[in-house]
Each structure stands twice: as structure tokens, then as C-alpha cells.
Structure 1
């Protein structure tokens, strides 16, 4: 060990031994993991579009940057987990849920607004059979259609917020019944117009998902006899649609009115409100709800009203007839919100060959 003299104090000082190459690499890797974990956990994360629920706004194969600071970074419920992994790997948990922290969110640059494209955890995985902490649930991406306190109604596919028609997304699409003259439709035409055949109903009749902007073009072809929007009739009960109760005869295209819960909002408790809001009260806000005759009990005490502790949002896909969204599992609680989709940084098309696989026109494309 080398010694050198400290002339100011006339005392010997030892020199620190130099780090080995291995130690330098280990330190660099640990530093990189810590920094990337902080960035991914608090600032931004990447997200890949897994399905067609947001077509044609966001395409399957798009890779996005999600801003967590736009709405405030959410602190993890399970802080002890393996970074950059799924909740389970080969059937083994990648997190330790012995330590669970309560919901907490840092201040952000703003709040969720109508028409924002939001990434969030899947609400129906709050059910007991999944047994997953909030931050370990599946990530979804949809457009926010309603914010806390909004009254949401859908009439023949058109969304109304507080009685006014909500602007439709520029590239929103839905399904149509298309009748032909019996001649085959050119597959290249369908590809060029971004049309998907959902099913063939008869030899000359198809259900197709057609971008709104391309309906007129499709009608112009001589072998197309008619194009009719597919709309579920008002008053037709669909058991798959929230709140999954025949008292509310709602369906995919005709729904509501439904008031979205807002933090601090108080509602009377009765058969109807309990049907609409029991999931929020019981599952998301962790209360024990019971019905004893005409009495409603919350945590063992009779209650005539309930005041919400969180804000709730309504999320829907732009591909209206091919999206599993709030119409099926209800509102999204604020503690499930991850962040705002802000940028498509890369995009690939799995249906194309290796030379045409990359969608160059979507790289570094802002999301709105």
C-alpha cells in the first residue's frame, strides 16, 4: 500500500486502491439498471400495441413512449420486483408481494382530458381470481371518453358527454354490413383501404370493419351493392355489457346515461345505484358491501349514501366494434392509470415481408 504525505496536517493519507475492470463493469451495470429503472418507473416507459382496438389511430405493431409525468408518476404498489419483466415468468412471480404500498401519485403536469390516449392497468384483473397487485396487471391503451363527473350516453354508436355529441377520433372505425353482387372483392383493395373482414354472413354478404374515411370509396366500386352500419338496437340487453344487469338494457351501441364517479361525489344508495357503483365501492375502494332486506350495509354499518374516494374514467377503443373496453368492464379508477401515450417511436407490420416490415411513416410520430 502506498502512502503520501498531507503537508497541511503532516499526517499520512492512504490512496484508494484502483478498481478492477470487473468491478468497473459491475458498477456501470448497476448504475445503468438503477437509472433506467428510475426513468421507466417515474418518467417514461415503452409500450407495444398488442391488438387492433385502437385501429386506425394506433396500429398493431406500434411501439409507443408513455409519459408518466403527464398525470403524475404513480408510485409502485409492489416495490420489490425484477425490472423489465412480466408479472410472471414461466409460472413464477417476478415480484414479491409481502410488501404492498398504498396508492400514491406524484404531482403531474396536468390531468386526464377527454380524448387523451391513455395507458392503464386492466380493471377486471382486480377480481380475486387474478390476485394481482394493481401495478402488475395487464397494460391496456384506449382513448379517454369521459372524465370524473361526466354524464356519458351512447346513442346509435355516437357518444354524448353531458348531453353534447363528443367529437369522434379522426380515424375512428366501426363495422358495416357489406352486400356485393356475388363477385369476389379484390384482396388488394381491402389492404389498400385498411378494411378487415370480420365474418361472412352469406355468399354475398360480409361484416367488415371499415375506416370512416374509406366508406365512400368502398361504395364507389361497381360490385358493392350496399353498405349499412352495424348498430345494436336501443333497448336490446347485452349481458356482456356493463353493469351486466337486465335492469339496464344497454349494449355496445346504445348505452347510459351513466354518471362517472368523482372524488368527493356523494350518491344515494338504492337498488339502481348499487348496481351501477357497487364494483367501485367494493372492489376498487376496498369496502365490504352487503344487502340485508332493504338495507344496504357498508363495512357492517347501514348506509344511505356513499362518498367516492377516487376519480374514475371511461376508456374506449377507436375501433368501436373490435375493442374490449369500458363498455364491458366499466370505469377505470385513477389508481390504474399509468400515463399518457405521447409518441410512436417505431412500428412494424407483421403481415409484410422483411423488406416492407417497418412502417417508416410512423417512426417518431406524435400521438394525438
Structure 2
């Protein structure tokens, strides 16, 4: 083999390595500072988010904390370029009780707010939140038969509107104490109210510090039926929820 041929092969290998390294750096920058993919493992945010949804979370929406970076290195305290979330945002955050675990819920209470559930109706600062009954949610993926679940349209004081599910009357957290949100903290709740471990459970979630917010859920980029896997491409014609792809999260 000639010297020229050897150098050409070595140069080609080196170029391939450089391309891979550059691609990894670009992916790391995008994941750290712009968008991070998440998948939904539980039904606590039904029907807004379903098990099997894959979505992008904008990392820049609320600024950056140590939890914005891979492995969460304690580089600094608090947030830089911080911008507080709006009431009603769907947010991914690091669980205060276990900062290795990510949760996704909706921001219901802002710092200083008083939050309470009374007979299944959300109250903010002593005022009931507007809620209207709409047609039932039809659950078809968790069992062999269709299950009807009560569905409500809830509208927060700032006008943000979304749907919530009510699996049972007089559920465990349909009547709660009054929670007072501390400064620099937020009160999170799942839209599937009877099937969500959220800020109502002080011993497991509680109030979420601003520093623990990772980003805002923006768009669903892929979705497969509950129980199926995204890598099972041979099932895609039947398992992919085509109507949910590129759906904006609200």
C-alpha cells in the first residue's frame, strides 16, 4: 500500500471522528440550552399529555439552573437569565424530594398564592376557578373496553384554559387543606386530578423551588399508543397516534 493511500485513509478516518465530535457537541449545546426531549411515562396529565407522547421542552423559557445541565453539576445557585413561569404553563421540573427524578405538571399556584381543593373544585386565593362540564373522555388504551371519564374545562384567572379529568367523586385529594405557596416556589398539579401525585402531596412533591424548573413543554413530536415502544417501527402504522404529532402543548 502506498504512503499516499495510507494518508488518505488516515485522513478520512480523522475527518469522520471530527464530524462525530462536532455533531455530539452541537447536540449537547441544543439539549442544554435550547430543547430537550422528554417522554410521558404516566397518565397524570391526561388528556393533555398521554402515556407514549414524546415532546420537546424549551430549556430557555425560565433561564438556567444547575438542573439545566447534564448530571446537574452544582456550578452556581439559583438561576441565570431567569424568567418566572406563567400560571397554567406545563412544566418539567426536578422533584424536590429526589433531584434525580423529573416530573411534568401544570403550574397552578404562584409565590404567595393560597391554593385549596373543595369538593373537587380548585380555589385560588379564596375564589373558585371557573369550571364547566364537557363531554366525557373516552379511555380506550388502558383496558379491553372503552371507559368513560368525566371531563371538565378549567379556566385560570389569567385566562389559560385546559381540560381536567375526574375519575371519581370525592377522590382522595378532592378536599384538601389550604396551601400557601412560599416565596420563590410554585404549586404544581396534574390535569388527571384523581391520578396525580403533585404539590397537594407535601410529603412526596410539595412546593417546587424556582431553581428546580427545567423547562416548558412546547410540542409533541412523536406519540405511540400506551404499551407500545417508539423503536417498534413495524408497528407504527397501527401504534403511532398520527393526530398528536406536532401538537402544541397547552
Contact 1:196 1:210 in 2 (8 A): no
Which of 207, 231, 249 is residue 170 of structure 2 equivalent to?
A: 231
Q: CA deviation at 1:230?
A: 1.8
| Count of residue pairs brought into register by the alignment | 217
Match of 1:148, SS state, is: coil
Q: CA deviation at 1:123?
A: 2.0
Is 1:339 aligned to residue 250 of structure 2? no
Which stretches of structure 1, 4 residues or more, deviate above 3 A after TM superposition? 167-173, 195-198, 350-353
Which of 172, 182, 186 is residue 261 of structure 1 equivalent to?
A: 182
Question: Which residue does the alignment assign to 1:305?
Answer: none
Match of 1:327, SS state, is: coil
TM-score between both structures, scaled by the size of structure 2: 0.76
Match of 2:200, SS state, is: helix
List per-residue Cα deviations over 1:115-150 (Å, max 9, x = no partner). 11010112221xxxxxxxx4xx11111111111111
Residue ranges of structure 1 left out of the alignment (5+ in a row) = 1-16, 82-94, 126-133, 174-191, 199-207, 214-227, 233-250, 263-310
CA distance in structure 2 between the aligned counterparts of 1:48 and 1:351, rounded to whole angstroms: 13
Q: CA deviation at 1:153?
A: 1.3
Question: Which residue does the alignment assign to 1:100?
Answer: 74
Q: CA deviation at 1:62?
A: 0.4
Q: CA deviation at 1:195?
A: 6.3
CA distance in structure 2 between the aligned counterparts of 1:67 and 1:168, rounded to whole angstroms: 29
Q: CA deviation at 1:34?
A: 1.0
Question: Which residue does the alignment assign to 2:118?
Answer: 155
Match of 2:225, SS state, is: coil
Question: Which residue does the alignment assign to 1:45?
Answer: 36
CA distance in structure 2 between the aligned counterparts of 1:116 and 1:170, rounded to whole angstroms: 22
For residues 344-359 of structure 1, the aligned pairs below 5 Å read: 344-350=220-226, 354=235, 355-359=237-241
TM-score between both structures, scaled by the size of structure 1: 0.53
Match of 2:19, SS state, is: helix
Output the aligned Cα RMSD. Answer: 3.2
Distance 1:327 1:169, change over 3 A: farther
Q: 1 or 2 for the larger relative contact order (CA 8 Å, sep ≥6)?
A: 2
Q: CA deviation at 1:165?
A: 2.1
CA distance in structure 2 between the aligned counterparts of 1:107 and 1:123, rounded to whole angstroms: 21
Distance 1:70 1:172, change over 3 A: farther
Of structures 1 and 2, the larger Rg is shown by 1
Question: Which residue does the alignment assign to 2:21?
Answer: 30
CA distance in structure 1 between the aligned counterparts of 2:95 and 2:135, rounded to whole angstroms: 22
Which of 173, 185, 202 is residue 252 of structure 1 equivalent to?
A: 173
Is 1:367 aligned to residue 249 of structure 2? yes
Match of 1:107, SS state, is: coil
Q: CA deviation at 1:357?
A: 0.3
